[in-house]
């Protein structure tokens, strides 16, 4: 018996009450549930799935606008959790589970449907049926055809609040411009777009392909976008760990910024990893015998401080590792990156790194690869990967930026202090220490009281990109 052909619905969805219009045209399989349509709408409008929602086949504004109801009571649908936890107020009775109703069934009378997201701000979406047709061979179950402008910023206060926010953003001289811009940045999340005109159609379609396609080999959804990306790459592991909304935002951000493109390391990277190269070359294939106290020989310490140009900046003899912080930190960082190890009173270059002796370019690849593969706690790894992303895309430049970014990311992901308070900058500095201490020897930020909060260079950004892979 032949298999029945799939039927596709073309829907036009418009957020009501906003000019110019924010709208999308989508194609969806009529057998998808309203719960699936909720996921589609969240993706194509770039909502953050952080509020309650509701479907209805009756205009939710009708009663408050004084329009009398004629005929049957409207049907309404919501998610199972809302059904269990609360009652829908007003005229709507007999609400149903959205997972039990298909889009085709809800649209059987031709529509329109109404989707309300955030029952506080009340973002009302009108869903109109444009066309119904057989699915073409290979046509995806859900896709975005076209649309304009991103959804309003979450929690901005509804239509009036959104209009006021846009007016302030359009006036750089407005006294509230800076604070409003900061609030918008926090409202869209770490990887969302702040541009009201950015519909991100390609990103939305890619997300729909992941949600309703044949599935992907990894939970992160990144491997198919970057074929040379290993499933255990730090950024893939991090993405798989995120909740679905943040994961989608991260994937879209990585596509926009093209951070996962594999590129040859430029010569400038070989230049900035010179401290690690000096240490690896100084230890060499034969190893370096340590003092009885376990420190590098004084002559080697003084040699390194001199050749790396650190001698003039240091007070003291600069020949005792335990008292010469730059050299001590360099060795500690190299051990954390598993470039070297201590064995029976000697420092040795680990076997996989030995081919990089005398080869700074190859050593740069090892350093980049190990930046996010150090031993870390889960919270350190989350913070370090997120800061590496920000270094790579240019949104973070100085150490102050990085510490504030880490605190913001962890708060956005739901972390709190032990006392229940918000994660602050001081805590942010602590959890990104594995990354920052490894990058300090290569000139990103200085250590201790000689720290210089200089901007990251292009070479540092390349290293951060490599670390993500």
pLDDT digit of tens for each residue in the chain (469 aa)?
456 679 999 999 999 999 999 999 999 999 999 999 999 999 999 998 889 999 999 888 766 665 665 667 789 999 988 887 755 444 445 689 999 999 999 999 898 999 999 999 999 999 999 999 999 998 999 999 999 999 999 999 999 999 999 999 999 999 999 999 999 998 998 898 999 999 999 989 988 988 887 655 556 778 766 667 887 899 999 998 888 788 889 988 998 888 888 776 677 788 889 999 999 999 999 999 999 999 999 999 999 999 998 888 888 889 999 999 999 999 999 999 999 999 999 999 999 999 999 999 999 999 999 999 999 999 999 999 999 999 999 998 888 889 999 998 898 888 888 888 888 989 999 999 999 999 988 888 764 335 556 778 888 898 999 999 8
According to the model, what pLDDT value does residue 421 have?
86
* Nearest Cα to Cα of residue 257 among 411, 468, 47, 399: 468
For residue 418, what are the CA distances in angstroms to 415, 421, 426? 9, 7, 14
According to the model, what pLDDT value does residue 449 have?
35
Q: How far apart are CA 407 and CA 422, in angstroms?
A: 8
pTM of the predicted model, to two decimals?
A: 0.84
Residue 144 tokens, joined: 């975005």
Q: How far apart are CA 344 and CA 354, in angstroms?
A: 19
Beta bridge partners of 346: 289, 343
Q: How far apart are CA 189 and CA 181, in angstroms?
A: 13
Q: Where are the domains of the chain?
A: 7-148, 267-368
- Based on the number of CB atoms within 10 Å of its own CB, is 138 exposed (0-12), middle (13-18) or buried (19 or more)? exposed
CA atoms within 13 A on the CB side of 115: 27
Are 343 and 260 a contacting pair, CB within 8 Å? no
Contacts of 238 by beta carbon, 8 Å cutoff, 6+ apart: 220, 250, 381, 382, 385, 386
CA 429 to chain centre: 19
Strand-strand pairing, 96-97 and 76-78: parallel
Crossing angle of the two packed helices 177-187 and 158-169, in degrees rounded to 10: 120
According to the model, what pLDDT value does residue 278 have?
97
For residue 356, what are the CA distances in angstroms to 271, 273, 351? 14, 12, 10
> What backbone phi and psi angles, to 5 degrees, belong to 379?
-70, -35
Are 82 and 75 a contacting pair, CB within 8 Å? no
Per the listing, tokens 């990089």 go with: 356
Q: How far apart are CA 448 and CA 399, in angstroms?
A: 13
Residue 240 tokens, joined: 């798989």
For residue 300, what are the CA distances in angstroms to 143, 189, 369, 448? 63, 48, 27, 22
Are 442 and 273 a contacting pair, CB within 8 Å? yes
Per the listing, tokens 């992941």 go with: 210
Are 14 and 21 a contacting pair, CB within 8 Å? yes
Eight-class DSSP state of 419: T
Residue 280: which H helix or E strand, with range? helix 274-283
In CATH terms, the superfamily for domain 7-148 is MM3350-like (3.10.290.30)
């Amino acid at each position: 018996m032949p298999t029945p052909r799939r039927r596709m619905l073309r829907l036009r969805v418009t957020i009501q009450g906003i000019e110019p219009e924010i709208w999308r045209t989508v194609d969806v399989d009529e057998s998808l549930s309203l719960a699936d349509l909720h996921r589609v709408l969240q993706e194509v409008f770039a909502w953050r799935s952080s509020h309650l929602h509701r479907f209805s086949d009756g205009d939710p504004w009708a009663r408050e606008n004084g329009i009398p109801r004629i005929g049957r009571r409207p049907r309404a649908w919501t998610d199972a959790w809302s059904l269990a936890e609360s009652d829908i107020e007003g005229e709507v009775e007999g609400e149903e589970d959205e997972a039990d109703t298909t889009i085709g069934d809800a649209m059987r009378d031709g529509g329109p449907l109404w989707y309300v997201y955030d029952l506080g701000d009340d973002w009302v979406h009108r869903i109109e049926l444009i066309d119904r047709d057989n699915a073409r061979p290979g046509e995806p179950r859900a896709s975005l055809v076209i649309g304009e402008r991103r959804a309003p910023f979450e929690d901005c206060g509804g239509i009036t609040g959104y209009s006021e926010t846009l007016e302030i953003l359009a006036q750089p001289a407005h006294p509230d411009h800076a604070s409003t811009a900061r609030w918008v940045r926090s409202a869209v999340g770490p990887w969302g777009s702040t541009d009201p005109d950015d519909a991100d159609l390609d990103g939305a379609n890619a997300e729909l392909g992941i949600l309703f396609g044949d599935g992907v080999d990894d939970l992160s959804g990144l491997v198919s976008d970057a074929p040379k990306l290993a499933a255990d790459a730090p950024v893939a592991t991090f993405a798989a760990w995120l909740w679905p909304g943040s994961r989608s935002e991260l994937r879209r951000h990585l596509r926009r910024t093209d951070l996962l493109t594999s590129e040859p390391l430029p010569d400038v990277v070989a230049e900035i990893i010179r401290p690690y190269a000096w240490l690896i070359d100084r230890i060499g294939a034969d190893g370096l015998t340590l003092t009885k106290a376990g420190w590098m020989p004084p002559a080697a310490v003084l040699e390194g401080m001199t050749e790396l140009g650190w001698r003039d900046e240091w007070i003291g003899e600069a020949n005792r590792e335990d008292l010469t912080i730059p050299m001590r930190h360099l060795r500690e960082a190299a051990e954390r990156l598993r470039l070297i190890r201590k064995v029976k009173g000697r420092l040795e270059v680990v076997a996989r790194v030995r081919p990089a002796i005398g080869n700074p370019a190859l050593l740069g690849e090892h350093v980049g690869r190990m930046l996010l593969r150090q031993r870390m706690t889960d919270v350190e790894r989350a913070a370090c990967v997120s800061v590496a992303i920000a270094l790579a895309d240019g949104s973070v430049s100085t150490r102050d930026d990085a510490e504030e970014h880490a605190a913001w990311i962890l708060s956005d992901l739901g972390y709190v202090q032990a006392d229940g308070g918000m994660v602050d900058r001081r805590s942010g500095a602590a959890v990104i220490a594995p990354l920052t201490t490894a990058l300090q020897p290569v000139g990103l930020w200085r250590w201790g009281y000689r720290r210089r909060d200089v901007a990251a260079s292009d070479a540092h950004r390349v290293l951060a990109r490599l670390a993500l892979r």
